[in-house]
Structure 1
Amino acid sequence: MTTFLNGGHVSANGIRQHYLRYGGKGHALIVVPGITSPAITWGFVAERLGQHFDTYVLDVRGRGLSSSGPDLDYGTDACASDIPAFAAALGLDSYHLIGHSMGARFAIRAAANGAPGLQKLVLVDPPVSGPGRRAYPSKLPWYVDSIRQASLGMSGEDMRTYCATWSDEQLALRAEWLHTCYEPAIVRAFDDFHEVDIHQYLPAVRQPALLMVAGRGGVIEPCDIDEIRELKSDIQVVQVANAGHMIPWDDLDGFFAAFGLFLDRSVA
């Protein structure tokens, strides 16, 4: 039985923010996906989260059904400020936050800015690149080429060139929705991976945080974990050994098991 309730839009932080809601009961939980992941592509994750939480999956600006176009700011600060604005618009005065990849960087920035009502923070394999640091492993053409192809029309089988290990259903969904990713928004986010040092904000994060690391992702190395622990000594770290950067796609059960009791209940 599905936990999906509805999709919706709110006006928050000066833009239209689209979301998908699952569950509707329990503590509020906001999910912020990665650089080219519209909210709907996280539906298979949110279905299970919705069994335990009142779960909202966001379309980040420039993606999915949220505001897009040439007049918006797609930088880290603007996108991070969308998160608490979204929570306020829906009257969520207490919520947990899960961010994956780019979404985890936005979550760190939002938490460092205060984010009223934010209780706990789950950071799923955030890029640790930045000025003077090791480059993010993925390359920009991988994103841009696939978006341009999707904009012309592509099948799930066409998408297999970019995501070889994904299921037929996952490939078809990405092929259907990738065209909603506005290319300049993606380029700005990718540039910010290398131009914004997210580490500088970690000492200001006061909420309990869980760092989930992909064992086969190549994004976060042991030395990065050591540095993050120095910057936020109380952070909890867990590794999903058999997963690449797209952890839920590679090992869904391992992804849920990695939460343990961090959110005060098991989601495994």
Structure 2
Amino acid sequence: MSSTFLHGGNVFANGIRQHYLRYGPGAGSAGERSTRPAIVLIPGITSPAITWGFVGEVLGSRFDTFILDVRGRGLSSASDTLDYSLDAQADDIAAFVSALDLDAFSLLGHSMGARIAARAAGRIERGLRSVVLVDPPASGPGRRPYPSQLPWYVDSIALARKGMDAQAMSQFCPTWTFEQRQLRAEWLHTCDERAVLASFKGFHEDDFFADAARLNVPSLLVTAERGDVVRPEDVDELQGATPSMLHTRVPDAGHMIPWDNEAGFYAALGDFLGAPVSLRKPA
């Protein structure tokens, strides 16, 4: 199976260095690709861009795809004084798509990334065609807490900073494959603990439901069958506020949907982004 990885890159946007990985079809498909919106993929709270590379490989077969390192993760800017608020992260997205001069694009965010996408949508002046919200934390002011516990993140990051391998990572991600755990063990140390603490706090203080209700482009909510991140009543509330919002629940998957059921994740996207994608068979 040939790779769709094109290159990594950095742009200076919203006052910081933003690192991304780019995937896309080969030169023979350039014309077809240009008729579809690009995809800007925003990962979750402790997921550097490279950990979503396997998804980028598949999306890249049909779309020009950019996977971001959110500030404080991966190779993007991080510091003891950097603003790690949701507002700053949303401004990053608006500045990123402007810096790359993307004419037409969709935002696809997972978990924290979905909350960033929902807020960023209201700050993007042109080019945004649709938004995909993948298992966004339904916590917030006056709502139930996010089901994952903070020590799960903090303790694993602390071990990663010292150095850990796939075996050590198994205590945190016991259902993941060896390759998935090894990649996380390699890159988790790049997640700034301040960034994670700020984002986790934001899960309980930022009003995602208000951001989602203000979406004025087509939207798709993708949720996991297992876990307690998005409950059926949350889906009802989100669709009640935005009746045009579509919803698909992925079977046999927990919060890290593509890790648990990759084929089901692509099936859930359908042709919402402009063309269907699926797992490719080796050549």
Shorter-chain TM band: over 0.9
Residue 84 of structure 1: CA displacement?
Answer: 1.6
Partner of 2:4: 3
Deviations 1:124-179 (A, max 9, x none): 00001001101111010000000000000001110010000111111000000000
Amino acid at match of 1:195: E
Q: Secondary structure at the match of 1:65?
A: coil
Query: Does 1:158 find its partner at 2:159?
Result: no
- For 2:112 and 2:243, how far apart are their aligned partners in 1? 22
Give me the CA root mean square deviation.
Answer: 0.9
- CA drift at 1:29: 0.8
1:219 maps to which residue? 229
Percentage of pairs with the same residue: 57
Query: Counterparts of 1:129-168 in structure 2 under 5 Å?
Result: 129-168=139-178
Q: Identify the residue that residue 38 of structure 2 maps to in structure 1.
A: 28
Output one character per residue of 1:197-241: Cα deviation in whole Å (capped at 9) or x when no partner: 111122321010000010002101111011101111100000002
Residue 251 (structure 2) pairs with residue 241 (structure 1): yes
Contact 1:36 1:186 in 2 (8 A): yes
Q: CA deviation at 1:115?
A: 4.6
TM-score (norm 2): 0.93
Structure 1 CA distance, aligned partners of 2:67 and 2:95?
A: 14
Q: 2:100 aligns with which of 82, 87, 90?
A: 90
Determine if the alignment matches structure 1 residue 189 to structure 2 residue 199. yes
Name the TM-score, length of structure 1 as normaliser: 0.98
Structure 2 gap ranges (5+) = 279-283
Match of 1:171 in 2: 181
How far does residue 19 in structure 1 lie from its aligned partner after superposition?
Answer: 0.2
How far apart are the structure 1 equivalents of 2:267 and 2:48? 24
Which SS does the other structure have where 1:146 is aligned?
helix
Aligned to 1:109: 119
Whole-angstrom CA distance in 1 between matches of 2:23 and 2:194: 30
9-18 or 24-33, larger mean C-alpha shift: 24-33
* Preserved CA contact (<8 Å) 2:72 2:190: yes
Change in CA separation of 1:115 and 1:177 when aligned onto 2, cut-off 3 Å: farther
Structure 1 SS opposite 2:6:
strand
Long gaps (5+) in structure 1: none
- Cα contact 2:94–2:123 (8 A) shared by 1: no
Amino acid at match of 2:109: G
User: How far apart are the structure 2 equivalents of 1:230 and 1:72?
Assistant: 37
Aligned-partner residue type, residue 200 of structure 2: F
Q: How many matched pairs?
A: 268
